Chain A
Amino acid sequence: MSRVLEVTNLRKRFGGIAAVDGVSFHVDEGEILGIIGPNGCGKSTTFNCILGQLAPTEGEVKLDGRIVTGMRPSELNRLGVSRTFQLLQVFPQLSVRENLILAGQEHKGTMLSRLFGPADAGLGAAADQMIGFFKLGHLADVSAGGLSYGQQKLLDAAMAFMAGPRLVLLDEPAGGVNLTMLADLKERLRAINREQGATFVVIEHNMEFVMSLCTRIVVMAEGKVLAEGSPETIRSDPAVIEAYLGH
C-alpha cells in the first residue's frame, strides 16, 4: 500500500502564534482520511499548507514520495491534487456542464491544442457521465448560479473529480447540506472512492458524517495531532472526548 500523501512535522507560525505546531500524518492509497478537531485547532491551516495556499514555516509535504512543500495550487493540481472549498466556488455564469468541462480541461493536451481542438476539449462525454453520477442530469445546462446550495455542493465535489485526481482534499463538504443530500453525497463519495480508487482527505465538523464515511481519522487540537485511528478507536478515546467536551 503506497503512501499518497505524507506530512512530516508541519509547522505554520503567524507572528508569534503557531497555528500548526508539528503535525505529522500520512494517507495511504484508497483511504478516506478524516481530520477533525474543535474550532481553531489548525485543521484548515494544515489543509492550506498542504495545498500551497500558504507557505509552511517548517516541515515537509510529500506526494507519492515527491517533495511538494510550498508548491503553488496550480502546480499541485497538475500533479493530481484536487480540492473542494468550504465557501462554495463554482462559476455561476457557466452552466453545470461547462463548470465540469472547465474543471478538467487544463489537464487535456497543451494550451495550443486546446485552442484548435473541439469546444468541449473532448470532455463532453466525461462531463455527462459525472453529471449522471452525481444525479444532476436535469440541471446540465442550467447556470451554476441558479442551483440550490446543496446542488452547488454536489457540483463542487464533481468538479474536483473531473481531472481524475490522485488525491482529493474536501473542505467541510457537509457544511450547510440538508440530510437527504448528505446521504446522497456520502454515498457518491464512497462510490467514487471504490470505482476510481481516489484517495480522500476530509476536514469536517459533522461527526456523524466523518465517522460513517472515513476509514481512518486524525484528531487535532491546538495545532497538534491528538490521536489517530479507526472511527471506533477515536470514538472511545478519552483524550479526544476531553478535547471536545472540555471546551
Chain B
Amino acid sequence: MTPAHRLFAIAAGAAVIAALVFVPLSLGRYGLYILSLWSVMSIAAIGLNLTLGYAGQVSLAQGAFVGIGAYAAAIMTVNGLPLSLAVAAALILCFIVGWVLGYPALRVQHHYLAFVTLAFSTLAFLVFRNEEWLTKGIYGISDVPRPNIFGLSTAKPLPFYYLCLFTLGVVTIAFWRLVRSPWGRAFMALRENPMRALSLGVDTRRYTLMAFAIGSALGGLAGALYAPLTEFVDPTPFTLSLSLNLLMMVIVGGSGFFFGPYLGAMIAVLLPEWLRFTQGYYLIVYAVLVMALLIYSPTGILGILDRYLRDRSAKAASSLRAAARASLPDEAVG
C-alpha cells in the first residue's frame, strides 16, 4: 500500500470508529438495539468468515453455536454467575463441540461438513426445545440480566451498546492478529491451493479443523452477548434460518475479506428496516439479490471492489515487471 493509500485507510478507519462511538449518543432505544444487534451478529459472521472465507468450509451450524452461547449465558447469569464466566464457558464449549463435529466430517470429503452441520443445527434446536429442565423449552428463559462492568451497570441501552462495541473491537484486533500470523498464512494457503499447501508441509486438515472450531467459538461468543441484549432466550431464533442468514451475511459482504462480515451484518440487520415498505416481501427480495450478487461476484460486494482495485494495480505491476526485466540481464552478466 502506498503512503497515500495508507493515510486514507487510517483516516477512514478513524472516522468509522468515531461514528460508531459518538453517533449512538443521539440515537433512541430502537436505534441502539439495532446497532448492538449488528455488533453481535458481526462477531458471529466473523467466525463464519474464518470457517468459510479463509478455510473454505461451509458451516450450516453457526446459528446453533450462537444458540449454545446464548443459552449458556442465560442459564449462568440467571443463576447469579458473572457474564465474563459465561463468555468463557461459551467460547470453550463451542470450540470443543466444533472440534468434535469437524473431526470426522473433514476426514471424508469437503462438502460433508455442510451436511453434518445441517444435521447438528436441527439436533441443537430439538435439544433447546425439548430439554425443559435446562432450557425451559418453549417458555424460554426470561429476565436475563445485563452485567455490571467495573461497577457500572449496562442495564440501559447505551452502556450495553458500548459493551457490545468494545467486544467487537477486541474480536477485531484478535482476528487481525490471527490473520497476520503464520496461521493466517496457512489458512490462505489451504483456501487457495490445498495441494500446494500440503506439499509445503501445511497440515491442511488440522488447520481446517482449527478454523472451524475457532469460528464456532466466535459464534458462541456472539450468543453470550445476544442473551443479555434481548434479555430473553427461547428456541425460536436458533433455527437453520439463522445459520442461513449468517451465511448470507458473509457471502454478501465478501467471504474471505476482512471487513466482509461487518458489511454483510450491517446489510442483513438494516435491510428489514429499509425494505419494510415491501411488507414481508423483503426476504424474497433479499434472497433474489443474494442470488444475483453470487452470479455476478461470488466474492460479494467487497469482491467487486477488490476486482476494481486489482485491475488498476495490475497496470502498475506490469510497468514494474518491465523495469525488472530491464535490470536483470545486467545482474546476470555481472
Interface on A for B, CB 8 Å cutoff? 51, 72-74, 77-78, 83, 85, 89, 91-94, 98, 101-103, 105-107, 111, 114-115, 117, 119-121, 135, 138-139, 142-143, 146-148, 151, 159, 163, 180-181, 183-184
Contact = CB atoms under 8 A, between A and B. Distances in A.
A107 B325 contact: no
A85 B182 CA distance: 23
A102 B317 CA distance: 22
Contact of A102 (B186, B203, B210): B186
Given A74-B204, A146-B320, A151-B324, 5 more contacts: A89-B196, A106-B186, A119-B180, A146-B317, A180-B328
Contacts of A183: 332
Given A91-B189, A91-B193, A180-B332, A117 B182 contact: yes
A89 B323 CA distance: 24
B182 A105 contact: yes
Contacts of A51: 199
B280 interface: no
Contacts of A139: 320, 324
A103 B199 CA distance: 9
A180 B329 contact: yes
A78 B202 CA distance: 9
Contacts of B329: 180
B18 interface: no
Nearest to B331: A135
Contacts of B331: 135
Chain B interface size, as a band, is: 35 or more
Contact of A106 (B195, B200, B321, B324): B200
A93 B203 contact: no
B84 interface: no
Given A91-B193, A115-B182, A103 B188 contact: no
Contacts of A180: 328-329, 332
B155 interface: no
Contacts of B198: 72-74, 77
A193 to B, nearest CB: 19
Contacts of A103: 200
B276 interface: no
A119 B182 CA distance: 6
Among A93, A102, A121, A143, chain B packs the most CB atoms within 10 A around the CB of A102
A77 B199 contact: yes
Given A146-B314, A146-B321, A105 B186 contact: yes
A143 B186 contact: no
B181 A106 contact: no
26 contacts: A72-B198, A74-B204, A83-B199, A89-B196, A91-B188, A91-B192, A93-B188, A102-B200, A103-B200, A106-B200, A106-B202, A106-B203, A111-B203, A114-B181, A115-B181, A115-B183, A119-B182, A135-B331, A135-B332, A139-B324, A146-B317, A146-B321, A148-B321, A159-B200, A163-B200, A181-B328
Interface in B310-334: 313-314, 317-318, 320-321, 323-325, 327-329, 331-332
A98 B189 CA distance: 11
Given A74-B198, A105-B186, A119-B182, A148 B203 contact: no
A148 B317 CA distance: 10
A98 B186 CA distance: 11
A159 B198 CA distance: 13
Given A139-B324, A143-B317, A146-B320, A78 B201 contact: yes
A188 B294 CA distance: 45
B185 A94 contact: yes
Nearest to B178: A115
Interface in B281-305: none
Q: List the 10 closest A-B pairs by CB distance, nearest first.
A: A146-B317, A106-B201, A77-B201, A114-B182, A89-B196, A121-B182, A105-B182, A74-B198, A73-B199, A102-B185
A119 B196 contact: no
Nearest to A151: B324
Among A101, A119, A143, chain B packs the most CB atoms within 10 A around the CB of A119
A140 to B, nearest CB: 12
Contacts of B185: 94, 98, 101-102, 105
B188 A114 contact: no
Contacts of B201: 74, 77-78, 106-107, 163
B181 A142 contact: no
Among A77, A106, A180, chain B packs the most CB atoms within 10 A around the CB of A106
